[in-house]
Amino acid sequence: MRELTKDKTPCLSMEFHSEEAAYQFYNEYGRIMGFGIRRDYHSKSRKDGAMINRKFVCCKEGEKEKDKWYMIVNHPKHETRTKCNVFMYVSLDRDLSKWIVKNFDDDHNHHLHLPQCTHLIPSQRKLCQAQALNVDIANDTGIFLKASRDLISALAGGKENLGFTAEDQKRYLRGKRQQNLQYGEAGSLLRYFQQQAAENPYFYYAIQLDVNEMITNIFWTDHKMITDYELFGDAVSFDTTFRTNKEYRPLVLFTGFNHFRKTMIFGASLLYDETTASFEWLFETFLHAMSGKKSTSFFTDQDQAITKAISKVMPKVFHGLCTFHPMQNALKHLGYLYKSGSKFGSDFKTCILDTRMNTSSLMLGIL
């Protein structure tokens, strides 16, 4: 430890070329010693408003303010701060254009982290440029998050040398997808919709924005889909299981059958999430596009958010469960009954598909 901290220990009058350089130096010192840091207060010049002082503190400094609801929380979060007074204070010397260490305290009142755990400290968790490139390549080639993380961990010599967690990896990809959608794909999609609307006045599309005016949910349909729904929209299947796009955003389809049992698509949507609020917006938008006509039967999977949205937007429509989902759940939870020679699979399928059995409607209907 002495050798590691020989050139990494802060001392008075130490100079840095920027406030960020001082932060990175102190953060590296914290990694070696086993504690996290964060930026505390700063002061600015009255003349030009430039920052002239900055204080860096231990991540366990102070204490968190109690939420007004803390008295009724069943399982409150464990307090992690210990009012630790460790800090490094730097000040800008305008003549030298340097940041100088003016004060420093290294007397912790808590145990420090072990070296193999320091990569989990918030201030130490970050994706370097090379790691971000590896994450991007793995994502573009379709490698799952866990597999790509294991690969990058092996390249780094172990998870303790990785520098980020699985949640950081997800957050990085999520942020990149949102940025790409905002500046690239969203613009291309909107231009396509505008072109279709200009060529066909019956083309319909709707976009939902969040409080920051960012695109969240998108729905579209065309003249043929609307006509098909008018003729064959008595029974509609609503499927949210398509996630083949690289953003893993659900591609939702409203489908049905014509008199030749050919699949008909009545509308499509890209959802940001699968919450009740998103489904309510989608169902209301779908009905608006279809001039308010509601189907007689609406078949979905057994998602609770969808069920709540249907009960609010289409309360009188029969809500049924697609046969695919109970069969998949039976294989998942009752797989031991599908043994060689067992008639359970055929009996279960007959129970669901045989329209002459009254139990069929009981198993399919969920309200």
CA dihedral of 112, 118, 124, 129, whole degrees rounded to 10 = 160
Q: Regarding predicted confidence, which is higher, 88 or 249? A: 88
As a whole number of angstroms, the distance between CA 86 and CA 311 comes to 56
* pLDDT-above-70 percentage for the chain: 84
Contacts of 82 (CB under 8 A, 6+ apart): 60, 109, 110
Which pLDDT score is estimated for 132? 82
Residue whose structure tokens are 């969203």: 186
Residue 219 has pLDDT above 70, yes or no: yes
As a whole number of angstroms, the distance between CA 49 and CA 70 comes to 39
As a whole number of angstroms, the distance between CA 290 and CA 281 comes to 14
* pLDDT-above-90 percentage for the chain: 33
As a whole number of angstroms, the distance between CA 18 and CA 172 comes to 26
Burial label for 8, CB within 10 Å (0-12, 13-18, 19+), is middle
Which pLDDT score is estimated for 234? 92
Contacts of 132 (CB under 8 A, 6+ apart): 172
Average per-residue pLDDT for the chain: 81
Q: Regarding predicted confidence, which is higher, 248 or 156? A: 156
**Tens of pLDDT, residues 11-44:** 899 999 999 999 999 998 998 888 999 999 899 9
The first and second tokens of residue 157, run together, are: 């010599």
**Tens of pLDDT, residues 173-205:** 777 766 655 555 667 778 888 888 888 888 999
Which pLDDT score is estimated for 91? 95
DSSP β-bridge partners for residue 87: 57, 105
Q: How confident is the model at residue 264 (pLDDT cuts 50, 70, 90)?
A: very high
**Enclosing H/E stretch for 297:** strand 297-300
Measuring CA to CA, which residue among 138, 223, 218 is closest to residue 176?
Answer: 138
Nearest 5°: the CA angle 22, 23, 28 is 100
Which pLDDT score is estimated for 359? 41
Which pLDDT score is estimated for 108? 92
Sequence length of the chain is 367
**Enclosing H/E stretch for 228:** helix 223-232
301 contacts 241 by C-beta, under 8 angstroms: yes
Q: How confident is the model at residue 1 (pLDDT cuts 50, 70, 90)?
A: very low
Ordered domains of the chain (ranges, CATH): 1-115 (no CATH), 125-198 (no CATH), 200-322 (3.30.420)
Which pLDDT score is estimated for 70? 54
Which pLDDT score is estimated for 51? 93
Contacts of 316 (CB under 8 A, 6+ apart): 294
Q: How confident is the model at residue 216 (pLDDT cuts 50, 70, 90)?
A: confident
Q: How confident is the model at residue 81 (pLDDT cuts 50, 70, 90)?
A: confident
Three-class secondary structure of residue 244 per DSSP? coil
**Tens of pLDDT, residues 307-359:** 899 999 999 999 887 777 677 777 777 777 877 777 887 887 777 776 544 44
The first and second tokens of residue 154, run together, are: 């092996």
